[in-house]
Homo-oligomer: A and B are copies of this chain.
Amino acid sequence: MTPDETPLSPTPRTVVRRGKKRARRSREDLYAVLDAGFVCHLGVIVDGTPMVIPTLYGRLGETLYMHGSTGARSLREAVDGEVCVTVTHVDGVVLARSAFHHSINYRSAMIYGTARIVEDRDEKLEGLRVLMEQLAPGRWDAVRRPTVKELAKTAVLAVSLAEASVKIRQGPPGEEEEDYALPIWAGVLPLHTRWRAPVPDPLLSPGIEVPGHVAERAHTTAFESPALTE
Contacts and interface: CB of A to CB of B under 8 A. Distances in A.
A86 B53 contact: yes
Report how many copies the assembly holds. Answer: 2
Contacts of A164: none
Contact of A199 (B86, B139, B188): B188
A85 B154 CA distance: 26
17 contacts: A18-B71, A38-B93, A39-B106, A41-B41, A41-B54, A41-B86, A50-B82, A51-B110, A93-B135, A99-B128, A100-B150, A181-B205, A186-B203, A186-B204, A187-B201, A187-B210, A191-B196
Interface of A: 13, 17-18, 38-39, 41-54, 56, 68-69, 71-73, 82-86, 88, 90, 92-93, 95-100, 102, 104, 106, 108, 110, 112, 128, 132, 135-136, 139-140, 142-147, 150, 153-154, 172-173, 179-205, 208-211, 214, 217-218, 222
